[in-house]
Amino acid sequence: MITLFTFGPSFGMPDASPFVMKAEVLLQLAEVPYTKKRADVRKSPKGKLPYIRDASGTVIADSTLIRFHLERHLGVDFDAGLTPSERGAAWAFEKLCEDHLYWIGMSERWLNDTNWEKGPRHFFDPLPVPLRSLIASKVRRDVRKALHAQGIGRHSHAEMDEIGTRGLAALSDFLGDKPFLMGEKPCGADAFVFSSIAQTLCDHFESSLRDAALRHPNLVAYRDRGMARWFPEFA
């Protein structure tokens, strides 16, 4: 049995991380039995979640490497039936979500003071009082540095909005009235595209990216469809 190491549900979402949600959707698409365990991110092999441990004890960290592992070891083809050009487009849309929507969402949640107070700050609640705000502020500073290093964090809010809005419009235009990115059946990229859209639409936070996503009814319906299918208890 595969164990998926997670942060656990937060803010009305199945997990605080879209990458953890992606890994869980991939496991469901692969139709393999799995169990979930909350993990301490500091003890994960690459200092990030998700990671999995498979039945043989092999540990794989990173949602994309988890995908490759499932493909290699279980013979799953998440993109079965897609043409080469569809496979390419699916991969590119997943990267759009990873490189733009994820980081803009991080900036909105971690650097907006209101969102910080009602969101990520609470990750540190289990720590003893003298350490709690010290560690919380340090991790918040680290996120600011990561956003700067990635590049998105160098932009103004208006610039981030413009980039995020364009990405959401591209996804909405491409999705059209299809149930999933490439048609009737979910493909590998749906695991992260769905998770990104679900996190973007999370109503716990104030977010101009969320406002932009709400202007695309097909993205909202896509989120609802994925939630009902993969995380019915959060639908």
Ligand X SMILES: N[C@@H](CCC(=O)N[C@@H](CS)C(=O)NCC(=O)O)C(=O)O
Q: What is the rounded CA–CA span in Å between residue 141 and residue 75?
A: 42
- Candidates 41-49, 80-88, 159-167, 200-208: pick the segment binding ligand X (CB under 6 A): 41-49
Residue nearer to ligand X on the CB measure, 100 or 172: 100
Omega before 50 cis (within 30°)? yes
What's the min distance (Å) between Cβ of 124 and ligand X? 12
Of residues 103, 101, 99, 105, the one with CA closest to residue 145:
103
Backbone torsion region of residue 47, taken as left when φ is above 0, otherwise alpha when ψ lies between -120 and 50, otherwise beta: left
Q: What is d(CA 63, CA 71) in angstroms, rounded to the nearest whole number?
A: 12
C-alpha span between 137 and 188 (Å, rounded): 36
State which of positions 49-88 bind ligand X (CB under 6 A). Answer: 49-50, 62-64
Distance in Å, CB of 20 to ligand X, minimum: 7
Q: Which is nearer to ligand X, 110 or 230 (CB)?
A: 110
- Give the per-residue contact string, 137-176, with ligand X (x = CB under 6 A; - = no): ----------------------------------------
Is residue 194 a contact residue for ligand X (CB under 6 A)?
A: no
Amino acid at 154: R
Give me the residues that bind ligand X (CB under 6 A), please.
17, 19, 41, 47-50, 62-64
